[in-house]
Amino acid sequence: MSITGERDDLPGGGPQKAGVALADIMTGMYATIAVLAALTHRDRTGVGQYIDMALLDVQVAMLANVGSNYLHSGKTPKRWGNAHANIVPYQTFATSDGHIIVAAGNDGQYRQFVKAGECPELATDPRFLTNPQRVELRDILVPLLAEMVKKKTKAKWLELLEENGVPCGPINNLDEVFNDPQVQARLCAIELPHPTVDKVKLVASPMRMSVTPVQYDAAPPTLGQHTEQILHELLGYSEEQLDQLRKKNII
C-alpha cells in the first residue's frame, strides 16, 4: 500500500489497497508452482519435500522491479497513483462518459495524442517537446490534457488513439467487462446447476489447454454439503458415529 495510491500532495493522497485480495491469490499461484516443482523433483529422484509458503514472503516477492530498484538505490519509492514516474502522459484520464488510460511512451505518440484531441498547440509548445520536459512540468501539462480528454467520449478516444498509434485502453466497469465481445467469445463466465438455485454464474478458469481442458464438474458446495462424506469416506466414521453427531447438532 505504500507504493499504491495517489501522491500525498494531491486530493485523496495516501496508501491505497488493491481492489482484490492479491496476496491471497498470488500465494495460491506461487504454492501451485512450488507443488509442481516438488512433484517434478519427486518423479526424478523419489524424494519428497515440505513446502513453506507465507503470505508475507509473497507480498515481498511481488514488489518485483520496485523492490529491486529500492535494494540497488536505497531510495524509498513514492506513490504515483495512476501516473508513471518517468513517462508523461502515461495515466488515466476522465472522458465525457468514463475513463481511459493513455500510455504515450515517446514524443511522437505524445504529439499524436494531442493532435487527436484537437490541441495541436500542445504538440509544438516548447515547454512540452520532450519527455523529460513533460515529466518536470507534469503539474502544468496534465490539467491541460485532462481538459482536452473530457471533451470526447471514451469510445471516440479509443477510436482516435488506435487510429493514430497511441497505446490506450478503456477503464471498464464489470458490466462492461462481462458484456465485452472478446470476454464473451472467450467464455470467461460460465453457468453451473446448483441445488439452492436453478443455476449459479461463475468466473471461468483462464487456463485453456488443448489436451486436458479444465472440467467444471460441480458448482461451489453449500455449507456443510460434504461434511458427512468426508467424515465417512476419508476419516472412517461409522454410520452410528455420524448419527450421534447429528443428534448433537454438530453436523
Residues annotated as catalytic are 24
CA gap 130, 207 in Å, rounded: 42
Q: Is the peptide bond before 89 cis (omega within 30 degrees of 0)?
A: yes
Bridge partners, 91 (sequence order)? 102
* Residue 66 identity: V
Best CA proximity match to 97, nearest among 16, 176, 6: 176
Three-class DSSP labels, 163-177: HCCCCEEEECCHHHH
Residue 108: all three cell numbers together: 511522437
137 neighbors 130 (Cβ within 8 angstroms): no
